[in-house]
């Protein structure tokens, strides 16, 4: 059930073990935070802080590396300013754009035959993302992932030339030439997926050359299985 409350509420952290939790770090022992409507989420073993409005309920929860939070630090941050929320949780929120034929798309369960086109202009989308306050962007070249080499290099160059976003680029990164092409087109980082599964020694050699601040290890996962080559082949390996 939805909680009809807007305003400052005190949250109670559930035990000393959560005082240094990434989600709550720096908020103090009995912090006041801003709620913009909430839900009566039951208090469970995953609850790390509670609030009380008529009845007590979970204000935020954690299970392993997954977090859920019902509040903001400040009212004025709730629509456009992501910096407070990301600072609160000690993580970066990174929007992503998937590209096919120069268009922004989304695949259904990695199926290229089930794609939804969201926008014909990835540069326009990237500019809007930057206006919302984001500093980073993840771009996936789905054409490149299927073809085995970079395809949408010009889209990458257009975005990095038009915005100040730090872009990490993936899809079709199969050779050192692909890596160099992505960096030349303005990528700040490159995401490597398939090669890390099919040729881990090659991936480690790239990691040694380019270092961890420029290479990201990526994985496409469905039902716990790691897929390669643009979701087209099950590698037979489990993500965990």
Whether 225 is a known active-site residue: answer no
Choice among 141, 220, 223, 225 that is catalytic: 220
- The answer to whether 162 touches 130, Cβ cutoff 8 Å, is no
- The answer to whether 5 touches 52, Cβ cutoff 8 Å, is no
Q: Where are the beta strands (DSSP E) in 120-201?
A: 136-141, 166-170, 189-192
Whether 199 is a known active-site residue: answer no
Distance from CA of residue 51 to its chain's centroid? 28
**In degrees rounded to 5, what are phi and psi of residue 30?**
-130, 70
Report how far residue 113's alpha carbon sits from residue 110's, in angstroms, rounded to the nearest whole number: 9
Q: Which residue has the tokens 């965990």?
A: 240
- The answer to whether 167 touches 125, Cβ cutoff 8 Å, is no
Choice among 98, 143, 168, 178 that is catalytic: 98
Cβ neighbourhood burial of 84 (10 Å; 0-12, 13-18, 19+): middle
Distances (CA, A) of 228 to 7, 38, 92: 47, 40, 26
Residues 6+ apart with CB under 8 A from 182: 150, 153, 156, 169, 173, 190
- Residues annotated catalytic, as ranges: 98, 220
């Amino acid at each position: 059930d939805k909680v009809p409350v807007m305003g400052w509420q005190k949250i109670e952290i559930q035990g000393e073990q959560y005082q240094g939790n990434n989600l709550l770090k720096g908020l103090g022992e009995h912090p006041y935070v801003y709620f913009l409507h909430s839900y009566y989420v039951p208090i469970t073993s995953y609850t790390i802080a509670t609030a009380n409005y008529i009845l007590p309920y979970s204000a935020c929860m954690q299970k392993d590396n997954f977090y859920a939070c019902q509040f903001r630090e400040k009212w004025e941050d709730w629509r456009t300013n992501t910096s407070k929320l990301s600072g609160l949780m000690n993580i970066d929120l990174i929007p992503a754009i998937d590209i096919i034929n120069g268009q922004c798309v989304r695949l259904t369960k990695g199926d290229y035959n089930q794609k939804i086109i969201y926008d014909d202009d990835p540069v326009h989308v990237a500019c809007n993302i930057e206006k919302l306050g984001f500093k980073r962007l993840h771009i996936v070249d789905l054409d490149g992932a299927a073809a085995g080499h970079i395809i949408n290099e010009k889209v990458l160059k257009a975005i990095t030339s038009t915005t100040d976003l730090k872009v990490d680029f993936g899809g079709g990164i199969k050779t050192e030439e692909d890596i160099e092409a992505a960096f030349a087109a303005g990528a700040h980082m490159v995401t490597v997926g398939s090669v890390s599964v099919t040729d881990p020694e090659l991936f480690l050699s790239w990691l040694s050359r380019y270092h961890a601040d420029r290479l990201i290890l990526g994985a496409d996962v469905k039902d716990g299985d790691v897929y390669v080559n643009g979701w087209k082949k099950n590698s037979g390996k489990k993500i965990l």
